[in-house]
Structure 1
Amino acid sequence: MTFGKGCHLHLIDGSAFIFRAYHALPPLTRKSDGLPIGAVAGFCNMLFKSVEDAKGDDAPTHVAVIFDYSGKSFRNDIYPDYKANRPPAPEDLVPQFPLTRDATRAFNIACIEQEGFEADDIIATYARQARELGGRVTIISSDKDLMQLVGGGVEMLDAMKNKRIGIEGVEEKFGVGPDRVVDVQALAGDSVDNVPGAPGIGVKTAALLINEFGDLETLLERAEEIKQPKRRQTLIEKADQIRMSRDLVRLDDHVPLEFDLDTLELRDPEPETLLPFLASMEFRSLSKRIADQLGVEPVDIPETSGGESAPEAAAPEWPEIDPEKYECVRNAEALDRWVALIRDHGFVAVDTETNSLNEMQAELAGICLAVVPGEACYIPVGHKQGEGDGLFQNDALAEGQLPLDDVLAALKPVFEDPAILKIFQNAKYDTKIFRRYRIDVAPIDDTMLMSYAMFSGIHNHGMDALAERYLGHIPIPIKSLLGTGKSAITFDKVKIDEAVKYAAEDADITLRLWKLFKARLHREKVTTVYETLERPLVPVLAAMEMNGVQVDRDTLSRMSNAFAQKMAGLEAEIHELAGESFNVGSPAQLGEILFEKMGFEGGKKGKSGKYSTPADVLEDLAAQHDLPARVLDWRQLSKLKSTYTDALQTHIDPDTGRVHTSYLQTGAATGRLASTDPNLQNIPIRTEEGRRIREAFVAPEGKVLVSLDYSQIELRILAHVAGIESMKAAFRDGEDIHAATASEMFDVPLDEMTPEVRRQAKAINFGVIYGISGFGLARNLRIERKEAQGFIDRYFEKYPGIKEYMNETVAFAKEHGHVSTLFGRKIHTPEINAKGPHAGFARRAAINAPIQGTAADIIRRAMIRMPSAIERLPVKMLLQVHDELIFEIDAGAVDDAVTVIRDVMERATDPAVKLDVPLVVDAGQGANWAEAH
């Protein structure tokens, strides 16, 4: 059915359904394997009700469930702290998110999400399109942020209360009509999403002001007329912040959607798809109800189905986890007894409790040990008395604790004993803590990394999630001890008797997970991955993090000032080009200049009547005029200043003068490392100003920074796995691979190659690895979509092996539920058999994962071998950024060191994998990172 007049579109807010279901229902786990499914059950019931209700004159003709894409949106580019205060999703809810997508598809309903945009933006775009085509829209949600869309054939439905929300309902909520909701929200702000707004102005006051002055821009321009001094001062001083808040709360109703309205046509559930899904979730009553509704027999659900994800058979024989039974070690005799137990067993699960998450500053509050399931202890060593408040709090040690030095002296021999295995959940954190107390813990096992090796791509690997999924146990939440917000305390202020229950439980759970996972590694065929790529990397990363990298605060400060001055210069230039002064940070004012005064085409207004000027619009206009180009430059400098030159200064360790980032081994399903606190892997390098950030990362006197970087490693892996002889020959002969590709595709001799033709080939080479579409390539090259698709088609004609590799990889993923790297790393693809909008993303991810994952494995292998290779050299390995390693080397030893390091990196695949192409490593050096790379 072609969408148009008489059509009725239902847009279901998927996130609202999920969280409503999660909080409305008691916890529920699947009997066969302990998987949390309570939110999925509630979600399915709500979907079923929406299907049942979709009858009669008011029934929808088109329907979709819209989800938030995990990750940041364009709003984080406007304001990096957007949603920064939001707590992480409950651990038992995280593994249910992908299952709700599966449920949507099982019900034969369009399942929509899009990278870089929130669900509300997608809903806004579909609502606008439907309204413009003469159709009706019902948004099934009670989210106040969506109320700006109401009117003109769009209404909302609170499904839980069965209450419809029209224009009057919006006015009741905000005190203004839908067209002024954004203005009120911009003033009132939003503490949940961390939208700053105007301090001290709430919704009621905001509505009074907007009703008095007509709109936000008029209010800000006439702020001097406000009688209340404090309110007047806030509106004048915070005008830019308020305008930025408006940009954050205003929904983008021009999202470039992959699927048009016609693809959302209502379809009946297909029993052969829906019932097996419900059976896999073990929803007996819902399965029977739906089978009866569809007039078919329900799928049989065994009472217990075991399955691959079920806990080990030995698990039920363990005693229940009972925190009341754990021991508090308060004297030397008890400590000696535990040391003897560890020696008798030859292994021990260990956990630390500290007063900070910053391993470079954290102090021990206590140590947890477990050697038998159900038997665990806590050794308090740093708990404070803690009476009083603030500055008057008593920081004296609480009574009943052994001296820290005595405890460490007793444990050091077993922690360093090579015959005793130490078991951790996230070993890197704890081993760094012990290393600062001069204890080098080894050997280690890590249940988090075991889970990652086995289940990458299926669920997260935090202890709470693993305990619930594989042990059927919900651990004591840390918030119950520490509290939340400004009143939260650190663990050393927790009463010891309460600390024992929480802390010792962690060690007990870690031990049980280890007993389940250790044997299972072999059955999942990932023992080699764990033993050669994951476990040995822990001490390497710990050492790198503790080394840190020296950062020059003065350089960052000068850059901040320089960026501020350059921004001021750009503002003056922009005002001159515009012929008048205006707020460059205001998209609405910029839009008026561009589309009304200067007459450019492409201007689009939101429901508020104000222009939107996102980056893609400005990029298109930049080819026609200098003003939008200068605005893009201004925005980039603004982001560099706030996100890097200002923020990086806060991460300099006061004791070392260095920045100590933290690497997360489980940060990506493909094996790529993630970097946090601060994130040093996303420093922009495509612009001169972005590259300058690296100038602040410096070498101490007498040393230099050296960067060694794999050259085009993913293209080399692609040439190998896809068996492309011409590409392999080009790499072996040391040719310019992009020029060689251009020559193949466009029949241009190498000696006649132009930079433009090479640039096109380069975009295709890298784009194909990530499954780029004709639309995406057209945007990158700024050419017609048809021409771009022609390039891609010609590419596959010239390199049929790539198309064959892609098809084979997707087929393997669909059959086995995972893909693998050349080194055996499994990357699970749970959504590969999905239908609808997410299918393309899952397919692209499956194609790219073996390539990106193999590249990640190669640099891991190099990093693991590096310490022994450079141990006799004056070298420290500091950072890993994607395919690059950064070292600090004595100035006189650079040549010898580079020879050794390059050899390790270029031979990293040996002897496990013999590539058909050589690995090439480029090296650079300098007084700072920018000079080195």
Structure 2
Amino acid sequence: MPHLYLVDGSGYIFRAYHRLPPLTNKHGEPAGAVYGYASMLWRLADDLHKADGPTHMAVILDKSSVTFRNEMYDQYKAHRPPPPEDLVPQFPMIRDATRAFSLPCIEEQGWEADDLIASYAKAALAQGWQVTIVSSDKDLMQLVEDGSLDMLDTMNNRRLMAADVEAKFGVPPAKVGEVLALMGDSVDNVPGVPGVGPKTAAKLIQEFGDVEGVLAAAPEMKKSKLKDNLLEHADNARLSRRLVELACDVPLPEPLEDLALKGIPEAPLRAFLEHHGFKSLLSRLGQVADAPTPEAKVPGVAFDDEPACDHDGYETVVDEAKLDEWIAAARSQGWLALDTETTGKDPMAAHLVGISIALAPNRACYVPVAHGGSDMFAERPAQLDAALVLGKLKSLLEDAGVLKVGHNFKYDLIIFNRAYAAAGLGEVTIAPLDDTIVMSFDLDAGLHGHGMDELAATHLQHSCIAYKDVVGTGKKALGFHEVDLKAATRYAAEDADVTLRLWRRFKPRLPAESATRVYEMVDRPLVPVIARMEQRGILVDRDRLAALSADFSEQIAGLETVIHDLAGGPFTIGSPKQLGDVLFERLGLKGGRKGKSGVYSTDVNELERLAADKESAGAEIARKVLDWRGLTKLKNTYTDTLQEQINADTGRVHTSYSLTGAQTGRLSSSDPNLQNIPIRQEVGRQIRDAFVARPGYVILAADYSQIELRLAAHMADVPALKHAFANGDDIHSLTAQELFGEVTRDNRARAKTINFAILYGISRWGLAGRLDITADEAQGMIDRYFDRFPGINRYIAETLTGVRERGFTTTLFGRKTHFPRIRSKVQNERQGAERAAINAPIQGTSADIIKRAMVRMEPALAAAGLTGTHMLLQVHDELVFEVADAEVEAAREVIERVMATAAEPAVKLDVPLGVEIGTGASWGAAH
């Protein structure tokens, strides 16, 4: 029997848009909804094919927002906001996507998609066909007929029959329109009857049959607000009934017979996917740029046969024999995905609750070890002892013949290390390992985020169980250890399962997309190094921080008094609105600009503009406000917060490093963020003085000297700069001589600004602002710079040409950074991408080099017998160590050698890498 599937395309579009983050295609166009729509359509086609589904199929879309219902009622859908700005240009691409699958894409002016779906459904039913409507739209539930027409809700992966509709509305499908008319619809602006909700509407229809029956019975009802509303709004009820009624007799734009499925020809689909650069979908279609298929590299089933996540099929392991079976299977197979569940996000404070393992799609388990209530009398479910589980797992985790796969694995490494120590089982070295968050970053930096939920949606078309749906939210939220084992297993095993599925996709892409080099030589071996650094932490002098906080408070209070005096009265300095009103209304300063909210801008650029105008009456108050903001931020962000972040057990601060937080490959830190301490200001140096060494040790700081300028000299092939670095000359003095003909203190300072600004693709206006000169003067300096150092100009031109052609830049180690907005038609977006692209190869190579130094550092220190030297921090181009007093000189030599030669032998630079090293009792003193 013919079976027609009608896909509510409009519902798919908005689900796809809200499901994925903003993405752009290789042309710089917004394409997140397009990607999500294509993924969902493909998943639907796969699922239906495996289920021996439709013989006929069409996607139905809305043609326009104005239909015959607007003629009935001009306020119909009048309150709906316009579609998001970045979604509008994706509508035609989505139509292209539908046609790329060789599916009919049906839309008709003046009719809603629901009317077309209803008309096609009724026409098919009249010919004795089966019909399935792919949607969860409540309006379409009117059409359900047992045995002939059902609905497929792909969001919840279930089919809706007449009984399901009746359970939802309290009436059979044929009466749903009556209920909808009485209750109205605020989204579509269907008026309905005030005070009548779903339950009341259903009760009325059950009793009186339909809207007309309800209205006819209203005069005889006992006096109530409901009766008054029914009588007063009877016309609206009748209008609403006509508005929610589906038109079932729209002339069919394409005959039913033309909707027959004839397979999906590869050529148009491949052309569409290649046009947009949807690599993950291309990999499902077949080979990408002659790359090996995933099956050729990754053991297991082909992705096309990969089943959807079966949460109910995951196993809870509470039996020792079962655990032994999983361990034996993992060892026999040679790889497993691994994840930990804990009591919190901070790996230095959280405790292990359970471990999940995945060996293949849907072959996953959860091993609880610490579930139960928070107090000693709380009931604990049957589970294995943590020490027993860890003891049995240790040989597997340390087995060099078994690959361990994790997502953001450094977190789990710290948790395992602490758990083994707490269980009295010594240290554990988990190796070898792969990390899917790092793989994703090395493949697709700049294209999207790399969290598991986003990657699952992007690459697997799968929505992960939300953590809040498992533990709850707010004051009633549970700890994960309090979650029942069934729910915990579904959530935890899914994490391991999804990690494994992502690994199966990413692993073959690494060589195919030239990402193996940076992954294997730079990022993957760094994961355990970072984990050890985070676990070591750094000692912080609480008393010093408290003294600084008190000092800052006093200075802030003094500034507030001065600012209030200058303003002619008190106000809340931290309120942008009050500050704007004071500056531009009370004081009458010129140049104030209001944003869309009607509030004057008081951002740093605006305050710096006022402060720079020395003849303005607002210059002094602007400078004082900038000082006040700076001190307040330092106090709130560092001196106060750092005291709270000292770990109670270690007495140290343990920052968290992200290997994927900066697009160019640099590490970023958080909780606390140690990258943004203003080292060029005295107050910033005072904060660094609070980071100290323990007794018998010193802090050693090793900093690459002008590494980005050195790399620019090499990568742009600038003989003058290479010669200067080789001779140890002052590069800024050289630039000053070349640009200004003489070296003075001011000229050198300007040359230093220009040297770094050029590498960041600064514009004439940006440089003018930095140097406080006119744009024409700035352009003259840029022109002279390029005349003296033509290699830099050539490098910039070649870099921009390359990124426009390929969509990404590369470092000397092959790290790709994608710039999807490089072809954007929006000037600011395009220029921002161009500036970032100019610097990305240089800054990215710098990041790669210091990462390689970090990977090599521990083995080098161990080989030299320096057991009292430990790497604690990485901040931009600097490494910070804690060194035993007796090892300082030897450690200095090893550290300098490792850093200076970190690029070799993979990359041989034309310039030496200078390393400056200092030591002292504190981080500040080491500079």
Verify: 1:673 aligned to 2:661, yes or no: no
- Structure-2 residue corresponding to 1:428: 410
- Equivalent AA in structure 2 for residue 495 of structure 1: D
1:853 is aligned to 844
Letter of the 1:30 counterpart: A
The offset of 1:721, in angstroms, is 0.8
Q: What amino acid is aligned across from residue 547 of structure 1 in structure 2?
A: R
> Which of the pair has more CA radius of gyration?
2
**SS class of match (1:652):** coil
Structure 1 residues 25 and 912: CA distance shift in structure 2, 3 A: closer
Q: Choose which of 483, 486, 495 in structure 2 pairs with 1:497.
A: 486
Counterparts of 1:556-567 in structure 2 under 5 Å?
A: 556-567=545-556
Q: 1:833–1:324: structure 2 CA closer, same or farther, 3 Å change rule?
A: same
Q: 1:888 aligns to what? A: 882
How do 1:147-226 and structure 2 match up within 5 A? none
User: Residues 105-162 of structure 1: CA distance to partner in whole angstroms, max 9, x if unpaired?
Assistant: 999xxxxxxxxxxxxxxxxxxxxxxxxxxxxxxxxxxxxxxxxxxxxxxxxxxx9879
Which residue among 462, 486, 502 is the counterpart of 1:473? 462
- 1:303 and 1:680 mapped to 2: Cα distance? 40
Query: How big is the shift at 1:49?
Result: 6.9
Aligned to 1:809: 799
Partner of 2:204: none
Distance 1:690 1:66, change over 3 A: farther
Is 1:515 matched up with 2:497?
no
Counterpart Cα distance in 2 of 1:482 and 1:583: 39
Aligned residues: percent identity?
A: 49
Q: Tell whether the 8 Å contact from 1:663 to 1:676 is kept in structure 2 after alignment.
A: yes
When residues 897 and 599 of structure 1 are mapped into structure 2, their CA distance, relative to the original with a 3 A threshold, is same
1:759 corresponds in structure 2 to: 749
What TM-score results when the alignment is normalised by the length of structure 1?
0.67
Name 1:315's counterpart in structure 2. Answer: 303
Q: Whole-Å Cα distance in 1 between the matches of residues 898 and 765 of structure 2?
A: 40
User: In the alignment, residue 836 of structure 1 is paired with which amino acid?
Assistant: V
Please say if residues 319 and 384 of structure 2, whose CA atoms lie closer than 8 Å, have aligned partners that are also in contact: yes
Alpha-carbon distance, 1:467 to partner: 2.6
SS of the aligned residue for 2:822 comes to coil
Please tell me whether the aligned partners of residues 33 and 90 of structure 2 are also in contact (alpha carbons under 8 angstroms): no
Tell me the equivalent position of 2:349. Answer: 361
SS at match of 1:701: coil
CA contact (8 A) 2:761 2:839 kept: yes
Q: Secondary structure at the match of 1:348?
A: strand
Deviations 1:202-253 (A, max 9, x none): xxxxxxxxxxxxxxxxxxxxxxxxxxxxxxxxxxxxxxxxxxxxxxxxxxxx
**Alpha-carbon contact 2:16-2:34 (below 8 Å) kept:** no
1:919 aligns with 2:904: no
CA contact (8 A) 1:548 1:660 kept: yes
Deviation at 1:519, TM superposition (A): 2.6
Are 1:719 and 2:699 an aligned pair?
A: no
Q: Distance in 2 between matches of 1:398 and 1:582?
A: 56
Superposition deviation, residue 455 in structure 1? 1.7
Corresponding residue to 1:30 among 35, 38, 48:
38
Residues 600 and 661 (structure 1 numbering): CA distance in 2 closer, same or farther, change over 3 Å?
Answer: same
Q: Which moved more, 1:17-26 or 1:470-479?
A: 17-26
Amino acid in the other structure paired with 2:390: L
CA drift of 1:819 comes to 1.5
Distance 1:67 1:726, change over 3 A: farther
Matched residues in 2 for 1:923 and 1:642: separation?
A: 31
Q: Deviations over 1:536-583 (max 9, x none)?
A: 101110110000011122211111110111122223344555676665
Alignment deviations for residues 653-680 of structure 1 (CA, whole Å, 9 cap, x no partner):
1101111011111112211111111111
Q: Per the alignment, do residues 46 and 395 of structure 1 end up closer, same or farther by CA in structure 2, a change over 3 Å counting?
A: farther
Q: Which amino acid aligns with 2:524?
A: R
In structure 1, C-alpha distance between the alignment counterparts of 2:685 and 2:269, rounded to whole Å: 50
Alignment of 1:526-565 (within 5 A): 526-565=515-554
Q: Helix, strand or coil: the match of 2:886?
A: helix
Query: What SS does the corresponding residue of 2:665 show, helix, strand or coil?
Result: coil
Asked if the contact 1:312–1:516 (Cα under 8 Å) also holds between the matched residues in 2, the reply is: yes
| 1:305 Cα deviation from its structure 2 partner | 5.4
Match of 2:845, as an amino acid?
A: T
Amino acid across the alignment from 2:342: T
Distance 1:34 1:671, change over 3 A: farther
Whole-Å separation in 1 of the counterparts to 2:283 and 2:897: 57
SS of alignment partner, residue 370 of structure 1: strand
**CA 520–607 in structure 1, closer or farther in 2 if over 3 Å, else same:** closer
Alignment CA distance shift 1:506-1:627 (3 Å):
closer
Are the structure 2 counterparts of residues 425 and 916 from structure 1 closer, same or farther at C-alpha, using a change threshold of 3 Å?
same
In 2, are the aligned partners of 1:879 and 1:886 still within 8 Å (CA)?
yes
| 2:695 matches 1:695 | no
| AA matched with 1:754 | T
Native 8 Å contact 2:17 2:87 kept in 1: yes
What's the secondary structure of 2:560's corresponding residue? helix
Deviation at 1:611, TM superposition (A): 5.8
Superposed displacement of residue 459, structure 1: 2.2
Structure-1 residue corresponding to 2:831: 840
In the TM superposition, what whole-angstrom CA distance separates every residue of 1:427-483 from its partner, at most 9, and x where no partner exists? 111111111123321121112222222222222222223333333332222222111
Q: Distance in 1 between matches of 2:519 and 2:418?
A: 26
Distance change >3 Å, CA 559–CA 345, structure 1 → 2: same
1:864 to 855, 864, 867: 855
Give per-residue Cα distances to partners, 1:694-719, cap 9 Å, x unaligned. 12211112211111111111111111
Paired residue secondary structure (1:887): strand
2:19/2:457 contact within 8 Å kept: no
Normalised by the size of structure 2, how large is the TM-score? 0.67
Between 634-643 and 876-885, report the one with greater CA deviation.
634-643
Alpha-carbon distance in structure 2 between the residues aligned to 1:657 and 1:341: 42
Mapped to 2, the partners of 1:809 and 1:858 lie a distance apart of: 20
Q: Deviations over 1:61-95 (max 9, x none)?
A: xxxx9999xxxxxxxxxxxxxxxxxxxxxxxxxxx
SS in 2 for 1:358: coil
Listed as ranges, the matches of 1:78-117 within 5 Å are: 103=90
2:437 aligned with 1:442 = no
CA contact (8 A) 1:708 1:884 kept: yes
How far residue 30 of structure 1 moved from its aligned partner, in angstroms, is: 1.8
The residue number in structure 2 matching 1:376 is 364
Contact 1:549 1:659 (C-alpha < 8 Å) held by counterparts: yes
* 2:896 paired residue number: 902
3-state secondary structure, aligned to 1:30: helix
Paired amino acid for 1:880: Q
Structure 1, unaligned runs of 5 or more? 1-14, 37-43, 51-64, 69-96, 108-158, 164-275, 285-300, 387-392
Give the gaps of 5 or more residues in structure 2: 1-13, 23-31, 45-59, 67-80, 95-185, 191-267, 296-301, 421-427
Q: Which amino acid aligns with 2:454?
A: A
In terms of mean alpha carbon deviation, does 395-404 or 428-437 score higher? Answer: 395-404
Matches within 5 A, 1:39-50: none
CA shift, 1:35, in A, is 10
Q: 1: CA distance between counterparts of 2:438 and 2:20?
A: 31
d(CA) in 2 for partners of 1:829, 1:25: 19
State which of 459, 462, 486 in structure 1 corresponds to 2:451: 462
User: In structure 2, what is the Cα distance between the partners aligned to 1:847 and 1:105?
Assistant: 33
Structure 1 Cα separation of the partners of residues 739 and 62 of structure 2: 52
Per the TM alignment, residue 385 of structure 1 is displaced from its structure 2 partner at its CA by 3.9
Partner amino acid, structure 2, of 1:519: P
Question: Is the contact made by 2:16 and 2:36 (CA closer than 8 Å) also made in structure 1?
Answer: no
Q: Distance in 2 between matches of 1:336 and 1:823?
A: 42
Aligned to 2:611: 622
Confirm or deny that 1:572 pairs with 2:561: yes
Post-superposition offset of 1:342: 1.9
Q: Secondary structure at the match of 2:692?
A: coil
Specify the alignment match of 1:401 in structure 2: 383
8 Å Cα contact 2:754/2:767 also seen in 1: yes
Q: What does the per-residue CA deviation read over 1:171-213, in whole Å, with 9 as the maximum and x for residues that have no partner?
A: xxxxxxxxxxxxxxxxxxxxxxxxxxxxxxxxxxxxxxxxxxx
Report the Cα distance in structure 1 between the residues aligned to 2:328 and 2:597, rounded to whole angstroms.
72
Confirm or deny: 8 A CA contact 1:33 1:469 kept in the other structure.
no
Q: Within 5 Å, which residues of 2 pair with 1:648-667?
A: 648-667=642-661
Q: Aligned-pair distance for 1:102? A: 7.6
Asked if 1:336 is matched to 2:327, the reply is: no
Q: Is the 8 A contact 1:30 1:281 kept in 2?
A: no
Structure 1 position 785 matched with structure 2 position 747? no
RMSD across aligned positions (CA): 3.9
Distance 1:334 1:732, change over 3 A: same
